[in-house]
Amino acid sequence: MYPPQHVAIIMDGNGRWAQNRGLARHEGHKEGVKTLKKIVKYAVETDISSLTVYAFSTENWKRPKAEVDFLLALMKKTMRNEVKDLLDNGVRINFIGRKNGLSKNLIKEIEHIEIKSKKNKCLTLNIAFNYGGRAEIVDAAKKIFIESQNKGFNIDELDEDLFSSYLYSSDFQDIELLIRTGGDKRLSNFLLWQSAYAELYFTDKYWPDFDAAELDAALEDFRNRERKFGALNDGDKNA
Ligand code: FPP
């Protein structure tokens, strides 16, 4: 089967990776950034056209303040330090998530990199930050409601395609392969709408230990899946 065009990753296990080494949890997040850089570089070499990663969820605000502050600062620092490398590699960066609750500085950094990388075509890296799948669907419903009031929008015209265009990123393709590291087997509110027909791949490896070989294993597993989208297998049609 063809390679997946859009791969999503729940980068889980940074904290445990650090704790297993007697390190503070934030050391795991720092190592997680290094892994992300390697995986982005590798994804550019493959036929994947979009990679979406879960960097900070709307639920992550419930973590201790020191960890939240660390993750926000890490995001800002990573964007600033990596912008050149990402641009040189032809990566387009896009953020999905709620800007509400983020500092003006971070929003400025985010918007700067989105504009600078807009024309890049090798890979689109969507960074889900302050992102929640349910929040995204609620935000889309609100936009549709406001538009229906202001523009006399006919609600009977609302179908799945039109609804999708109100999500955080209107040109966002469905997820074909969703990978979760760290051993848990759940979606944790990630891309609920866009993963409706995603193939799911779980690995026990903690995110800092994930590498190109692991990504290859996930891609190979995907190639062996039979995707049906609710229809029948070819072999079942004559049964
Ligand atoms: C989950 O591991 C990971 C996160 C909440 C943060 C993910 C962030 C990174 C990989 C940093 C890179 C991202 C950017 C773009 C700056 P966890 O803390 O839940 O680990 P645990 O399950 O072992 O506790």
Q: Is the pLDDT of residue 237 over 60?
A: no
The span from the CA of 233 to the CA of 3, in Å, is: 19
Mean pLDDT (the chain) is 93
Ligand 1 centroid from CA 130, angstroms: 13
On whether residue 18 sits in a domain, the answer given is yes
Reported pTM:
0.93
Q: For a pLDDT cut of 90, what percent of the chain falls above it? A: 82
On whether residue 178 sits in a domain, the answer given is yes
pLDDT of 151: 84
Please give the average per-residue pLDDT across 111-139, as a whole number: 95
The span from the CA of 85 to the CA of 34, in Å, is: 13
The span from the CA of 18 to the CA of 152, in Å, is: 54
Q: Is the pLDDT of residue 80 over 70?
A: yes
Q: For a pLDDT cut of 70, what percent of the chain falls above it? A: 95
Q: Which amino acids bring their CB within 6 angstroms of ligand 1?
A: 11-16, 29, 32-33, 36, 55, 60, 71, 74-75, 78, 127, 182, 207
On whether residue 158 sits in a domain, the answer given is no
Farthest-apart Cα atoms in the chain, separation: 61
Q: What is the pLDDT of residues 1-49, one digit of tens each?
A: 678 999 999 999 999 999 999 999 999 999 999 999 999 999 999 989 9
Atom of ligand 1 minimally distant from the CA of 78: 16
Mutate to test the pocket of ligand 1, among 9, 10, 12, 106 (most ligand atoms within 8 A of CB): 12
Query: Residue 25 maps to which CATH number?
Result: 3.40.1180.10
Reported as a pLDDT band with limits 50, 70 and 90, residue 154 is confident
Return the structure tokens found at 151.
């523009």
Active site residues: 12, 60
Collapsed DSSP state (helix, strand, coil) of residue 230: coil
Q: Is the pLDDT of residue 98 over 60?
A: yes
Return the structure tokens found at 132.
């929640």
On whether residue 166 sits in a domain, the answer given is no
Please give the average per-residue pLDDT across 159-180, as a whole number: 93
CB 76 within 8 A of CB 106: yes
φ, ψ at 171 (rounded to 5°): -100, 30
* DSSP codes of every residue in 51-119: EEEEEEEGGGGGS-HHHHHHHHHHHHHHHHHHHHHHHHTTEEEEEES--TTS-HHHHHHHHHHHHHTTT
Ligand 1 centroid from CA 55, angstroms: 6
| Structural domain count of the chain | 1
Q: In what helix (H) or strand (E) does residue 165 lie, and over which residues does it extend?
A: none
On whether residue 62 sits in a domain, the answer given is yes
Ligand 1 centroid from CA 71, angstroms: 8
pLDDT of 2: 73
On whether residue 153 sits in a domain, the answer given is no
Reported as a pLDDT band with limits 50, 70 and 90, residue 149 is confident
Strand partners, 202: 180
pLDDT of 32: 98
On whether residue 89 sits in a domain, the answer given is yes
The span from the CA of 63 to the CA of 224, in Å, is: 38
The span from the CA of 232 to the CA of 180, in Å, is: 27
Ligand 1, atom 1, residue with closest C-alpha: 12
Please give the average per-residue pLDDT across 85-103, as a whole number: 94
Domain that holds residue 201: 6-132+173-226
On whether residue 38 sits in a domain, the answer given is yes
